[in-house]
Amino acid sequence: MKKTLFAAALFAATAIGAVAPAFAAPVSYKIDPAHTAVAFIVNHVAFSNVIGRFNTVGGDVTFDKDAVEKSVVNVTIDTASVDTNHAKRDEHLRSPDFFNAKEFPKMTFKSTKIEKTGDKTGKLHGDLTMLGVTKPVVLDITFNKDGVSPASKLETAGFSARGTVKRTDFGMKYGAPAIGDDIQLLIEVEAVKS
Amino acid sequence: MSELLQDPFVQSSVLPLLAGLILVGALHLLRRSLAAAGIAAGFLVVFAMVIGLPALPPPSSMGKLFWASAVGLLLGAAADAAGVRGRVASAVLAVWLAASLLWIALPALDSAVAVVTLVILLGTAACVAFARGSETHGSEGGGSEGGGSPTAPAASLLALALAVGGTALIGSSASIAQMALALAASAGAFLLWNWPVERHGWGLSGRVATGIAVLLAAVLALFTQTQAAVLLLALPALLAGHVRRFLPQGDGLIGRAASAAAVTVVAVLPALVAIGAAYALTGGEASPY
């Protein structure tokens, strides 16, 4: 009887151990602002492309290494932190013509779905809220690396995302289409285990 | 043609001037007392063409500005069509303007400066609604009907809208600048209809248009980093009707034309002072970038 119980316990332990990785708990990370960049490229009257970024970005990532599709990304951006390396233009970008930062101080992205398209690539679906308007967007995402960072000694995950949004979809119509309607997004994120 | 309509200069001058000329003329034909409603109507048409028709309910202050202006236009036109004047008209104007200002300002009231700005705007709104002569100043002039001689109050509106537009342009708020200059151009169209012979009354519709200039100033002062305090320097433009009494009144067509032109020039002077102050405060930078 004792032998039977031991065998059952051993089997159960082995079986649980075998399936455990499939139920690995998703890990919560906080976005590391020092190693995160949200940049954009917009066409300027067909002469050139202006590059800008937001200097204040925060958020969290719930990363499930074994089921990436179950990961969740929430990002918040301070619109007043827009920076195109030109003070007057940045003042204009904060005005009601563009980001209307006084009235809409935050821009948010909440993921709704992640599709895996390759070993390290996927499509990040989510809702982008800007100027009080929420629209679905899809970003191409690359999972770069996760593990202990040799610099910070902290558990870190990193990914890159690229995509395009139409600013007029969010009611940002000033100057379009001379000042490009399609905004290219370049996002680089490092998130640290919280 | 579409490229021409994309030109910011055309959008804020030629287009609203033409819209104002057509709408004032059309409303004149429909009912003479409604002609001044062409100013606000011209402004709204140009707003919809340049910025687009805002959503309802409007998420932003510019959208609120549009719909508040549309309500004001309807109130003004209804009151003028019904012949409502005097204290009742002033009360209607005051309630509309105060409610619109509060609606627009509410999300921005996060500091003492914003509250003080709102109080100043409400005070200006009270002047527009109740100040002695705001409805009838200059009424001793020309052959108008329904609410007094229009030249002085239209010149006041032209000046206030120019001040808001010029200050916004210097302060990097292009869409507010364009809309304020469009309002100024629409007022200019009304002035042209009434020069050298005054044909129309100012009525509640005209005062609503002046109220729209105050709403534009509110959006500029509360939602941008512009040096909007300089707009205080433009407020003496509201006294154009009183100034007219001190200017020589010409006899005959040429005399009346000269008198109306002089009133307009005098009214615009404080606006130029305000724009000059805004320019000086930004360190004399003519173009934002």
B13 part of contact set with chain A, CB < 8 Å: no
Nearest CA distance, A12 vs chain B (angstrom): 58
- The predicted structure's pLDDT at residue B148: 60
Prediction ipTM score:
0.79
Q: How far apart are CA B70 and CA B73, in angstroms?
A: 5
Residues of chain B with confidence (pLDDT) below 50: 134-146
Distance from CA of B19 to the nearest CA of A (A): 21
Nearest by CB to residue B59, choosing from A91, A92, A171, is A171
Top pLDDT among A15 and B133 is at B133
Chain A residue numbers touching B60 (CB-CB < 8 A): 96, 100, 103-104, 131-132, 171
Long-range contact set of residues B51-55: C-beta below 8 Å, sequence gap at least 24: B51/A173, B51/A174, B51/B175, B51/B179, B52/A173, B55/A171
Does A25 or B148 have the greater pLDDT score? A25
Q: Give domain status of residue A180, yes or no.
A: yes
- Measured between beta carbons, the chain A residues lying within 8 angstroms of B59 are 131-133, 171
Phi, psi of B175 (to 5 degrees): -70, -35
Other residues' Cβ atoms within 10 Å of the Cβ of residue B196: 16
pLDDT at A55: 97
Domains held by chain A: number: 1
A132 interfaces chain B, CB cutoff of 8 Å: yes
pTM for the full model?
Answer: 0.85
pLDDT of residue A53: 98
Q: Model confidence over A88-131: pLDDT tens digits?
A: 899 999 999 999 999 999 999 999 999 999 999 999 999 999 99
Interface membership of B174 toward A (CB under 8 Å): yes
Give the burial class of B111: count Cβ atoms within 10 A of its Cβ; 0-12 exposed, 13-18 middle, 19 or more buried: exposed
pLDDT at B248: 76
For residue A128, list its beta bridge partners: A109, A135
In terms of Cα–Cα distance, which of B153, B97, B155 is closest to B126?
B97
pLDDT confidence bin for A10, thresholds 50/70/90 = very low
Cβ B65 vs Cβ B46: under 8 Å: no
In chain A, the residue whose alpha carbon lies closest to the alpha carbon of B287 is A88
Predicted confidence (pLDDT) per residue in A134-184, tens digit: 999 999 999 999 999 998 899 999 999 999 999 999 999 888 888 999 999
Q: Which residue type occupies B148?
A: G
Task: Count the neighbouring beta carbons within 10 Å of the beta carbon of residue B1.
Answer: 5
The whole-number pLDDT of residue A12 equals: 44
Q: What is the DSSP letter of A38?
A: E
Do A57 and A36 touch, CB atoms closer than 8 A?
yes
Residue A149 covered by a domain: yes
Q: Is a pLDDT exceeding 50 seen at residue A16?
A: no
Q: Does any domain span residue A17?
A: no
**Which residues form the domain of A40?**
25-193
CATH number at residue A150: 2.40.128.110
Q: Measure the CA–CA gap between A169 and A79, rounded to whole angstroms.
A: 17
Question: How many cross-chain Cβ pairs, A to B, lie less than 8 Å apart?
Answer: 67
pLDDT of res. B143: 42
Angle between the B174-193 and B203-223 helix axes, to the nearest 10 degrees? 160
pLDDT at B8: 83
Question: What is the spatial distance between Cα A89 and Cα B16, in angstroms, rounded to a whole number?
Answer: 27
Which A residues, 68 through 127, put their C-beta within 8 Å of a C-beta on chain B?
86, 88-89, 91-92, 94-97, 100, 102-104
Query: A6 in a domain, yes or no?
Result: no
Out of B59, B172, B222, whose CB is closest to A88? B172
What's the mean pLDDT when you consider all of chain A?
Answer: 88
d(CA B272, CA A166): 39
pLDDT bracket for residue A13 (50, 70, 90): very low
Q: Evaluate whether residue A101 is within a structural domain.
A: yes
pLDDT per residue over B1-40, tens digit each?
A: 667 777 888 999 999 999 999 999 999 999 999 999 999 9
